[in-house]
Amino acid sequence: MMMRKFGHAPLVAGALVALGVAFMVASRPPQAVAQQAPPPAPPPPSVGVSTARLVKMAPKVSLPGTVVSRSDSQLASEVEGRIAWVAEVGTAVKQGDVVARIDNKLASLQLQSDKSNAARLAAQLRYDREQAARMDNLFNQSAIAKSTRDQALSTKDMDSAALAQAEASFKKSQYQFSHSDIRAPFSGRVVARLINAGEYATPGKPVVRLVDTQSLEVSVQSPIDTARNVAEGTQLAVELQGKSVPARVRAIVPVGDIASRTIEVRLALPAGAGLVGDAAKVFMPSDLPRDVVAVPRDALVLREESTYVFKVDRKDKAQRVAVETGAEEGAMVEIKGAVTPGDRVIVRGAERLEAGQKVKAVRAS
């Protein structure tokens, strides 16, 4: 009996070992049994695309210009006298507002004197007319000599001329009195005092500088050959303070400078587009328009070594294409490279793309 008992002991031990191994295998994590599956690939990035187009553009040249006002005047005095008041620098005035005032006491006295003199001569002329009529009547009755009648008529005519002279002096005094107030001929701002209160003004001496800050233009000196490519009314791009501003050619002065072979071109600006004296860049066409391939400006990726665009092929992969830029028209830029009209070019989201990367193209608004 003892021999049979010890004979089964190895079988029991083996079973226990196998059971332990099975338990260890069952309790081991799944990743220890099988290799971990790779994570799913991320979706392709969404990019905004637009279409390269065949458009007519002209090459442009950048010319320096200056913002000026259409109305920039140094207002002068028309009468003489002591300056009583001058508007402060920076004062905004409307057309007809007083910008300076001359002491008009002497002008007032002269006006009263000329008015009285004209009234006296008018009364004298009325008497002389009646007297001349009486003398003429007596002469017709042969009651007086012809010389007496002629003297009365002559006196009447002299008084009539004297009255006309006195009335002219009276009107002159009225004009000087009313113009002792210097008024703005247009709306604008006083930008400089050229004379101060207490100083003596003489006719023609500048008193204030008045500038219309709303009617602005760009004055640019253009080569004569370049100016021939534009006409009055043409819309051109002007760069002011780093911003592009649309401007219309108001006038082309058809007189060139002999030394520089340039003429002045004036472009009207929207109100508030800049300040008088601002530096401007005017982009004028240097040749006639031609057919070019153009893309939106946002499609360009600018790097130090080159400029390129990304176009999306039929397999929705981004292809990097080096280009050269040319003429510009609004938001469109001429490019030279392996881009044809109808190609989809990326205008949003191209900064971090790699060549050949899969993308999801979305039409840009």
The Cα–Cα gap between 84 and 165 comes to 31
**Average pLDDT in the 277-292 region?**
90
- How would residue 35 be classed by pLDDT, with cut points 50, 70 and 90? low
The CATH code of the domain that includes 89 is: 2.40.50.100
Given the structure tokens 């840009």, which residue do they identify?
364
Residues 53 and 65 reside in one and the same domain: no
Q: What is the pLDDT of residues 188-203, one digit of tens each?
A: 999 999 999 999 999 9
State the pLDDT at residue 37.
64
- How would residue 8 be classed by pLDDT, with cut points 50, 70 and 90? very low
The CATH code of the domain that includes 244 is: 2.40.30.170
State the pLDDT at residue 122.
93
Mean pLDDT, rounded, of the chain: 86
pLDDT value at 5 more than 90:
no
pLDDT value at 22 more than 50:
no
Closest CA to 170 of 105, 258, 110: 110
Residues 95 and 132 reside in one and the same domain: no
Residues 202 and 246 reside in one and the same domain: no
Q: What pTM was estimated for this model as a whole?
A: 0.65
Specify if 6 maps to a domain. no
Closest CA to 264 of 275, 272, 276, 256: 256
Q: What is the pLDDT of residues 55-114, one digit of tens each?
A: 988 888 999 999 999 999 999 998 899 999 999 999 999 999 999 999 988 888 988 999
Answer whether 326's CB lies under 8 Å from 334's CB.
yes
- How would residue 9 be classed by pLDDT, with cut points 50, 70 and 90? very low
State the pLDDT at residue 16.
44
The Cα–Cα gap between 120 and 7 comes to 167
pLDDT value at 315 more than 80:
yes
Q: What is the pLDDT of residues 225-254, one digit of tens each?
A: 999 999 999 999 899 988 889 899 999 999
Answer whether 220's CB lies under 8 Å from 282's CB.
yes
The Cα–Cα gap between 25 and 172 comes to 124
Residues 147 and 200 reside in one and the same domain: no
The Cα–Cα gap between 242 and 274 comes to 11
Residues 225 and 280 reside in one and the same domain: yes
Closest CA to 318 of 48, 40, 5, 6: 48
Residues 96 and 203 reside in one and the same domain: yes
Specify if 8 maps to a domain. no
The Cα–Cα gap between 329 and 334 comes to 8
Specify if 4 maps to a domain. no
Residues 111 and 209 reside in one and the same domain: no
State the pLDDT at residue 36.
66
Which residue, 196, 214, 232, sits at the end of a domain?
214
Lowest mean pLDDT among 162-166, 261-265, 303-307, 361-365: 361-365
Total tally of structural domains belonging to the chain: 4
State the pLDDT at residue 349.
87
The CATH code of the domain that includes 321 is: 2.40.420.20
Pairing of strands 216-223, 188-193: unpaired
**Average pLDDT in the 193-217 region?**
93
The CATH code of the domain that includes 124 is: 1.10.287
Closest CA to 68 of 212, 253, 218: 218
State the pLDDT at residue 344.
92
Integer angstrom CA distances of residue 88 from 78, 189, 197, 206, 277: 21, 10, 11, 15, 21
pLDDT value at 32 more than 70:
no
Residues 279 and 154 reside in one and the same domain: no
The amino acid sitting at 168 is A
**What distance, in Å, lies between the first and last C-alpha atoms of the chain?**
97
The Cα–Cα gap between 356 and 365 comes to 25
Specify if 241 maps to a domain. yes
Give the residue numbers spanning the domain of 306: 46-57+289-363
Which residue, 123, 157, 178, sits at the end of a domain?
178
3-class secondary-structure state, position 150: helix
What whole-number percentage of the chain has pLDDT above 90?
54
Specify if 9 maps to a domain. no
Specify if 41 maps to a domain. no
